[in-house]
Structure 1
Amino acid sequence: MTESPTCPLCGAAHCSHYHRDQRRDYLQCPRCALIFVPPAYHLAPAEERAVYDQHQNSPDDAGYRRFLSRLFTPLAAELAPGARGLDFGSGPGPTLSVMFEEAGHPMRIYDPYYAPDSAVLAGEYDFITATEVVEHLAAPGRELERLVALLRPAGWLGLMTKRPRDRAAFASWHYILDPTHVCFYSEATFEWLAEHLGMQVVFPAADVVMMRRDPKRYRRMT
């Protein structure tokens, strides 16, 4: 029997079977509760890019702005005037960064396909956002730790991603049909992550999580 891969978030071994459909397997971590797709089922970069190229997001789309406001509104309420931010995984039509700039917050953007300026990942930020991004990450532990390290003391990390409820709902969940979605985070997963990094965590909406770096408790995962 082939040994199961380790958890891509916390590195735990002995991850167990969670679900299988016609396309791929899903495992669950016994430590952080992350549900993830083994690397053998991940798309190649060119295939992944082709899926993202189909997205039609734009700051001119009022509906998309309403969707993003589920994170924008609670996060903006926590920010000091002029707080500097980074939108990570901004996609082909950056919009959340525009919303924060309109609110007086200088923004940088990064996306490995559409805005691959790695220099922005050497900066320091008061807040970082990643909307509909973390479910795509093949190595979420490494990437999230890198982002948190860019935050100033008491800085915020704001994420949007849909959260699984239970095994029965997972089997018919539309979110797993996207072949670029490879990681699924429950509240328990984010609570584990916040505790492990020494951060505070709140859940303003069903698909929103905000974590605040605590300068007295923050520590690296590795």
Structure 2
Amino acid sequence: MDCPLCAAPTRRFAHNPQRKYRLCDTCHLISVPPGSLPSREEEETRYREHENSLDNPGYVAMFMDKIRHIKEHCPRARTALDYGCGYEPVLATLLQREGYRAEKYDSIFFPDLPEDRRFDVVISTETFEHFHDPAREMDRICQLLEPEGSLAVMTRFYTEMSPEPNASSFLNWYYQRDPTHVCFYRLETFDWIGRAWGFRRVFDNGKDFVILQRTGRTGV
């Protein structure tokens, strides 16, 4: 199986009774083989179980923390796209309250991408782990960004369980137990993404959030 992000060969990494996992030694992505990917219907059912709303103080506080970092590291950003917003676009609403001209996109719930629009920042929270084809999603995101735009991604890094890939630690990790989580990243994966699509890392919190700024210079 080739890596769904960088197309390099992958190797067997871990498995449990539910599914197998492959590791790419080139971009460091851990991914689920195509035969174990959830269906669209299974994904939608799972997403509707999430209690994500403006009435959830913890959920709102999490987003406000991310918006604070975006303000600091993307100070010129005025337009934003919530990429993978889910059935209730809380982040887009909060961004609007903070003065951004924000729009939303979700492949299931809000599938119509804004036509002929480019954004200063694309923000994807708890979405990258759901991508069946992360390379295609990155191509799409780049088409939506201004030439000097930024990409902000929130997803748990698997290095929170061990500094290097470890099958036992990974299988004990709560994050991989969600059947709709099919791609798992570390900071080095985002550095590879930066080289491949022309970004540089300007911020990370070491555990679940990274901001990449577009440079236009590619080359892996």
Q: TM-score, normalised on structure 2?
A: 0.91
Which of residues 102, 107, 111 in structure 2 aligns to 1:107? Answer: 102
**Partner residue in 2 for 1:28:** 23
Q: How does 1:130-145 map onto structure 2 within 5 Å?
A: 130-145=124-139
Q: Distance in 2 between matches of 1:140 and 1:121?
A: 21
Q: How big is the shift at 1:78?
A: 3.1
Q: Distance in 1 between matches of 2:21 and 2:143?
A: 29
**Partner residue in 2 for 1:158:** 152
Q: Does 1:83 align with 2:104?
A: no
Q: Tell me, yes or no, if the aligned pair for 1:121 and 1:150 is still in contact at 8 Å.
A: no
Mean CA deviation greater in 123-132 or 199-208 = 199-208
5+ residue gaps in structure 1? none
5+ residue gaps in structure 2? none
Give me the CA root mean square deviation: 1.7
Q: How does 1:42-191 map onto structure 2 within 5 Å?
A: 42-80=37-75, 83-118=78-113, 120=114, 122-165=116-159, 166=162, 167=166, 168-191=168-191
Q: How does 1:1-20 map onto structure 2 within 5 Å?
A: 5-13=1-9, 15-20=10-15
Q: Tell me, yes or no, if the aligned pair for 2:195 and 2:218 is still in contact at 8 Å.
A: no
Mean CA deviation greater in 206-215 or 66-75 = 66-75
Mean CA deviation greater in 140-149 or 197-206 = 197-206
Q: Distance in 1 between matches of 2:77 and 2:99?
A: 6
Q: Distance in 2 between matches of 1:132 and 1:113?
A: 15
Q: Tell me, yes or no, if the aligned pair for 1:56 and 1:93 is still in contact at 8 Å.
A: no
Q: Distance in 2 between matches of 1:91 and 1:163?
A: 21
Q: Does 1:210 align with 2:211?
A: yes
Q: How big is the shift at 1:169?
A: 2.2
Q: Distance in 1 between matches of 2:174 and 2:37?
A: 18
Q: TM-score, normalised on structure 1?
A: 0.90
**Partner residue in 1 for 2:199:** 199
Q: Distance in 2 between matches of 1:211 and 1:142?
A: 18
Residue 77 of structure 1 aligns to a residue whose secondary structure is helix
CA 1:163–1:176: 2 relative to 1, 3 Å:
same
Q: Distance in 1 between matches of 2:206 and 2:11?
A: 29
CA 1:78–1:171: 2 relative to 1, 3 Å:
same
Q: Tell me, yes or no, if the aligned pair for 2:154 and 2:208 is still in contact at 8 Å.
A: yes
Q: Tell me, yes or no, if the aligned pair for 2:77 and 2:121 is still in contact at 8 Å.
A: no
Aligned residues: 213
CA 1:59–1:121: 2 relative to 1, 3 Å:
farther
